[in-house]
Structure 1
């Protein structure tokens, strides 16, 4: 049963090196090899592997990818980006706009959504103003991960906690406990980036040029899709706030919002063709590999058999940050929640689990799905990438500081 864990370690190693001999590997290929390895070694039956693929997540990503592709192809995304960033006159302002614009938006539109829409935006900014794209990509990755902490619908693991922990009025509770430390942690990201990339924070005045719409009809449909996406998310928030018993999944929101560009656009097949299928393949492979690792019981045994007090806030934060790197944050939360419920932990402990399992995404490339989306899109659209080491060099100290901030506020 240790074989899936060994394969997972090999996947981590290949993610760091991105190389087999003289062959350069993409992240989707590495994860695909991991999934293939557990299948061929008999660690997971084919039927169980297929059932492990989360259809809701795949359809959600499909819908948002379609909207993102249409927004970019029509030129409407560039126009929206111009209107948002035109008042940012220097590098400091650009970074702060990315952190607080993308970060706080991710709390309500979900971090993966902002990763999909935000990547072409920051790549465009980098090209227009001769900014190192890696700085903006890191800012985007840290922003959508950190910002999503403050809301029960900011990411899948928060939603799981909100729905299964018995927290009453989750939007109010998440905001009360996590909004202020999240804002502080977004400021922390700014100073950490400025420390590591101080030579890129020039005081030169930036002049923004207004882009033109490439395809007016597709832009209109893209605008409609974007309005639908935001409106339906607001409906879901109201359903949550008023505790209405209605299964209005994020999957439905993404697919309904994608209808204008996939049904009414004449370029629907071009949109589908140019979507980021490699990222979808990555997620399907990741579900298979993580299910095999989960079935091994290796990490569950470590958590259950540890002699430490795993229900204290410091331990919840530490364990969730570390183990989320190996079994992903949603399975980690699914494992940890029953332990916390059995121990009757208070709201602070439950929100520590939400915060820790989320900011785990700032530690490494594989810590959050949004990181993979950003890197895949950057490689595809901008011919630029972030290596495992480049990400971790900034992500590790950042995560340590952010963990301390949440620890302080949740322990009050």
Structure 2
């Protein structure tokens, strides 16, 4: 067995387990370790390793992260979530407004940052108003995942798919907008039904609310961040400029700031995700260069599984995204998506909507569950799955049927 195959198998074992047994490693460090091992053992040289890295995708991801950090630091997310949570309306109506807000924000900004910024505000306000915070916290996670599928910049894997398959912003929207909107509606309906009659926490169940997070809101810095975001969207839709470079320039402009220190902003960038991308680019590139991808496809075809079939690819992406996580899954399966024009949109929809199935399906889910646990509100694996399973099954079905039966015809 070659060193390339051994490293590939070990790395994807780490993707499945979230680390390696006996070692305090996460997915990013496992991917980085695999890439370094390939270089150290001579499985590929430095030039070949660099050639496997998609710098356009990294540039898009890094730049949009910085724009999102700018808005977070300016208090934009906290102000919006606080405004919605303070509206005097029924809990069901508040739930719908929150889902709509999170979904829209997650379609254009990094959904994990949206979850990080909004969760503490919604949690604190819900407890102060005597409401059960669990449906509202779950709404943040589920809506962040559902809303992120709407655009090519809604999630890291969408950016990768769009870059590799050269998907246009508007063209992808035709496939994804309706499934995303219907997915948000499904999230609202399932949560409203599941928590009917349980909108308050009684007696000892109700944790003591913390002080509200810092409500400071910087209007001018928010305007600056939104203007850059609108410019990036304009460039993505109406120009042929390099998306990675445009996003990187826009993001770095956020660091030229007279009010916010650059270092704390850079510290909020998800460097682990960027490292994961780099490591997996190299590991998957070496795997393909060694011819193992071709051998895998040939073997699967003998077993009756054709990954070049977009329907099979949709199903494989949906299943594997909850096993190895969505980014590693997309990076593994993307080389098989080049023949059918529907394959890219179907992969993006499958990887995003399947994230709602279980807690470890996305970082947004983990952020919400940890926030609830910090207040003594336990969301177990099965309690999450009871909500996530119907949401995932229904929304994946909607997405597949929309692309296959409506858009394709």
Partner of 2:358: 364
1:155 and 2:155 correspond: yes
Partner of 1:329: 326
Partner of 1:241: 237
- Structure 1 unaligned spans of 5+: 205-210
* 1:43-85 C-alpha deviation (Å, 9 max, x unpaired): 774998x97898647845873575366345xxx7544433344
Secondary structure class of the residue paired with 1:87 = coil
Q: TM-score, normalised by structure 2?
A: 0.71
| CA shift for structure 1 position 404 | 0.8
* 1:203-240 C-alpha deviation (Å, 9 max, x unpaired): 99xxxxxx89765xxx43xx333222222221122112
| CA shift for structure 1 position 405 | 0.8
Distance 1:293 1:176, change over 3 A: closer
| CA shift for structure 1 position 103 | 0.3
Distance 1:232 1:272, change over 3 A: closer
Pick which of 60-69 and 106-115 moved more: 60-69
Structure 1 residues 14-93: aligned runs within 5 Å: 30-31=26-27, 34=30, 42=37, 45=40, 56=59, 59-60=62-63, 63=66, 66-67=69-70, 70-71=73-74, 78-87=78-87, 89-93=89-93
Partner of 2:195: 197
Partner of 2:336: 339
C-alpha separation in 2, matches of 1:410 and 1:102: 24
* 1:108-152 C-alpha deviation (Å, 9 max, x unpaired): 234244234323332233333334444323211111111121222
| CA shift for structure 1 position 411 | 1.6
* 1:133-190 C-alpha deviation (Å, 9 max, x unpaired): 44323211111111121222222332333344354xx333333332222211111112
Distance 1:84 1:195, change over 3 A: closer
Contact 2:64–2:247, Cα closer than 8 Å, also in 1? no
Partner of 1:105: 105
C-alpha separation in 2, matches of 1:409 and 1:340: 19
1:114 and 2:114 correspond: yes
1:140 and 2:136 correspond: no
C-alpha separation in 2, matches of 1:183 and 1:382: 31
Q: TM-score, normalised by structure 1?
A: 0.71
- Count of residues in correspondence between the two structures: 378
Distance 1:259 1:193, change over 3 A: farther
Contact 1:79–1:213, Cα closer than 8 Å, also in 2? no
Q: CA RMSD in A?
A: 4.5
C-alpha separation in 2, matches of 1:327 and 1:290: 15
Distance 1:264 1:83, change over 3 A: same
Distance 1:201 1:313, change over 3 A: farther
Choose from 185, 188, 203 the match for 2:186.
188
Contact 2:70–2:265, Cα closer than 8 Å, also in 1? no
| CA shift for structure 1 position 301 | 5.9
* 1:314-347 C-alpha deviation (Å, 9 max, x unpaired): 3222111122345543454445444332x3x23x
Secondary structure class of the residue paired with 1:200 = coil
| CA shift for structure 1 position 36 | 8.6
Secondary structure class of the residue paired with 1:150 = coil
Choose from 389, 401, 409 the match for 1:408.
401
C-alpha separation in 1, matches of 2:268 and 2:378: 15
* 1:187-207 C-alpha deviation (Å, 9 max, x unpaired): 111222234433433699xxx
- Structure 2 unaligned spans of 5+: 203-211
| CA shift for structure 1 position 32 | 6.8
Distance 1:391 1:80, change over 3 A: same
